[in-house]
Amino acid sequence: MQPVSSIDKHTHLSACPECDLLLDNTDQVKEGYISQCPRCQYVIQHPTRLSIRNNFLCVFTGLVFYFPAVLLPIMKFTMLGNTEVMSMINCTQTLFYTGNWAIGFVVLLTIILIPLIKMMLIIFITSRIYFKVKSQYLAASFKWYNRLNHWGMLDIFMLGIIVSAIKLNDDADLEAGVGLYAFIILLFTSALQTQLLNKNLIWTLIERHGE
């Protein structure tokens, strides 16, 4: 059995996300200062309340464009005199109507529901932390966000749109819809929010919030 002192010692170690160097995480970085890996100079922590506000604004912007991206036409294509309008919700409905229940459920879950749930969770977490409103659900909400973070596939859907447009370009007349521009903004804000998210800072503030 491993000695208690040895166990306690290892619980204070964390690996650098960039080079896997083991670092001591017992020291709390003060707000406005930067903690870097001594080997690769990767920024481990950069505590600032502005990052919380920026996360909220970024996700809120994505939420504003979410519903136009889902409901409005992404692309209109005309082939042999027939015009079809495609939106995210129409694609999902078509999969269910044609009997592709499994694929339709996966698309509904990963393209429509999970991105919405993730945005709602981040808005809940960042707003409570920034305005210092106590809530017992912060830790559980952030855990669920991290679990769902691997299931959102907006970028895969965008790749599918590009591939479809390339294949249909020679046989049909394609016209971008308003939903496509809203979807691009949604995808951009989602990627930017992921880059801005400081998980170490969020967990630290959640721990302080519960005190």
Q: What is the pLDDT of residues 11-23, one digit of tens each?
A: 566 777 668 767 7
Q: Which of 132-141, 154-163, 200-209 has the lowest mean pLDDT?
A: 154-163
pLDDT higher than 70, residue 138: yes
User: Is-contact 23 43, C-beta < 8 A?
Assistant: no
Least Cα distance to 76 among 187, 181, 173, 186 occurs for 173
pLDDT for the residue numbered 32: 55
Q: What is the CA radius of gyration of the chain?
A: 22
pLDDT at residue number 111: 87
Length of the chain counted residue by residue: 211
User: Is 110 a residue whose pLDDT tops 60?
Assistant: yes
Cα–Cα distance between 17 and 25 in angstroms, integer?
A: 13
For residue 35, the cross-strand partners are 45
